[in-house]
Amino acid sequence: MKKIFFLFFLSLLLVGCEKKVDFKLDQSSPKLVVDASIENEEPPIVVLSKSINYFSKISPQLLAESFVHNAVVEISDGVKAQKLKEYGIPLGNGYTIYYYSIDSSNLTSSFVGQLNKNYRLEIASEGETYSASTTIPNITKRIDSIRYKLTPNDTSEKKVIVMVTATDPAGYGDYVRYWTKRNREIFLPGFTSVYDDLVIDGTTYELEVEPGIDRNGSFSEDKRAFKKGDTVTLKLSNINKTTYDFWRTMEYTYASVGNPFASPVKVLSNISNNALGYFGGYASQYRTIIIPR
């Protein structure tokens, strides 16, 4: 009885000591957000936007207003330098997305990405300058083959698993990112899309290829499964460690949203002047498999 009385008294004491705490969060100044990449045999693509405050109410209008226009964007490969041009792609309902790429009306200084080459990005916007460097590495980790097999315990026998066999060269430091494309859909990155070679260095191995996901859509298991009748294309890109670190920390942040027990993580950017985002190079290869019905 004394123990119960003590606990009751302690609970009253704790309740009486409660204090309401109000946090006044400052509105942070928007930062430049850079999503820039260059791939072998492809022109550079640069998307510029402004960061949005954490408690902002996201809407199509707000996202449309976040794009950065009239920036001076230049990319060089150590020999040539090209000034990129801003383009807009209408999405309907009055909304447009914007990006910078080669000037199709002036191709004299334009170039596409090449393997084993370094690139530098320079951005001037609203009186500030930003820069970043990246590399398109060689294609070292190679796709040997892809195949499919039926999904265990699928009574409908409609779902399949896609398997890839790949070879990793001897020597650590081969980083990759992957995407999948189903039929006429766009390429989507995997939920965990980047990998190092600490475990599989110097081996030939087989792994399941999980379908890429649209993080703006639903994560239903049905949508995340390949099916009979699908045409599946796997895109595997060798990347450097800087690009790997950006996506490794970015995807950890995605996965930890809403988890109160997750450790805080800083997304690692390679853009100067406290900008957010990254400039990455991709050495890409593709394989396609047609799954019969």
Task: Please identify, among 84, 112, 136, the residue that sits at the C-terminal boundary of a domain.
Answer: 136
Higher pLDDT pick, 57 / 162: 162
State yes or no: pLDDT of 8 exceeds 60.
no
Residues 172 and 130 in one domain: no
Tell me the CA distances in angstroms from 235 to 91, 136, 223, 259, one per residue in order. 26, 15, 19, 31
- pLDDT 10s digits, 258-275: 565 567 778 999 999 999
User: What would the mean pLDDT of 50-72 be, rounded to a whole number?
Assistant: 83
Does 125 share its domain with 195?
A: no
Number of domains composing the chain: 2
Cα pseudo-dihedral 79, 80, 81, 85, rounded to 10: -160
Same domain, 130 and 160: no
Cα(55)–Cα(53) distance, integer angstroms: 6
For residues 86 and 6, which has the higher predicted lDDT (pLDDT)? 86
Residue 13 lies in a domain: no
Read off the pLDDT of residues 172-181 as tens digits, 9 standing for 90 and up.
999 999 999 9
pLDDT, one tens digit per residue, over 198-214 is 999 999 999 999 999 98
CATH number reported for the structural domain that contains residue 44 in this entry: 2.60.40
277 domain-assigned: no
* Domain closes at, from 83, 107, 136: 136
